[in-house]
Amino acid sequence: TTDGDKPVVSIEATTPEATEGAADNTLAFTISQNNVSNFDTEVSVSLGTDNAVDAADINQISYTVDGVADVVITDPTEIADFLATGSVTIPAGSTFTPVITITAKDDTIFENSEDLVLDIDTDTDFASVSPTEGSATGTILDEDQADNAPDNPDNTDDPINTTDGDKPVVSIEATTPEA
């Protein structure tokens, strides 16, 4: 037998980079299906295996719901729950594409960029997951500047620069003035 017109669902990181502590601090993931269905398509969302982000790195998750107000999650426990067992629905007869928006939390940790990987799954009686688009990756960047060259007008070593980020400052002070 074949699946005929059964929809195939996919996920794409439509805004694949966010910078914590900056105006562009959100990632966006869009879930879609290739065919309209007579059945609701419930899509499960969870963190992927190559994920470096956890709930503590996230300030807010919101997702669109067809015909009603967006769902907004700010409680850390609820954020962790959504990342473990979240779901969104594409209503029957609809071409609606749910969008999950993740707002990075600004922290005071100097760190590498972190990948946030979302995997999707669905009830195979009503849809299938694309074998090549069942996972999507967004990257949360630390707010430190990448260009630290002297010719950079926003050099992070500039003491009046307010976008220096979380880079630690190390100082040494002699406790005895003579050796």
Convert the pLDDT of each residue in 50-59 to its tens digit.
Answer: 888 888 899 9
Cβ pair 138, 16 in contact under 8 A: yes
pLDDT of 146 higher than 70: no
pLDDT of 176 higher than 60: yes
| Cα 39 from Cα 6, distance rounded (Å) | 10
Q: For residues 147-162, give the mean pLDDT.
A: 49
Higher pLDDT, 8 or 177: 8
For residue 160 the two structure tokens come to 């009046």
Look at residues 2, 3, 13 and name the one whose alpha carbon lies nearest to residue 122.
Answer: 3
Lowest mean pLDDT among 1-10, 50-59, 83-92, 140-149: 140-149
Look at residues 107, 141, 121 and name the one whose alpha carbon lies nearest to residue 18.
Answer: 141
| Cα 179 from Cα 176, distance rounded (Å) | 7
Lowest mean pLDDT among 18-22, 71-75, 91-95, 149-153: 149-153
Task: Determine whether 51 is exposed, middle or buried from the number of CB atoms within 10 Å of its CB (0-12, 13-18, 19+).
Answer: middle
Beta strand spans in the chain (E):
8-15, 17-19, 26-33, 41-47, 58-65, 68-73, 86-90, 99-104, 114-122, 128-129, 135-141
pLDDT of 80 higher than 70: yes
Q: For residues 126-131, give the mean pLDDT.
A: 95
Higher pLDDT, 76 or 2: 76
Q: What φ, ψ does residue 148 adopt, rounded to 5°?
A: -105, 20
pLDDT of residue 95: 84
Higher pLDDT, 136 or 69: 136
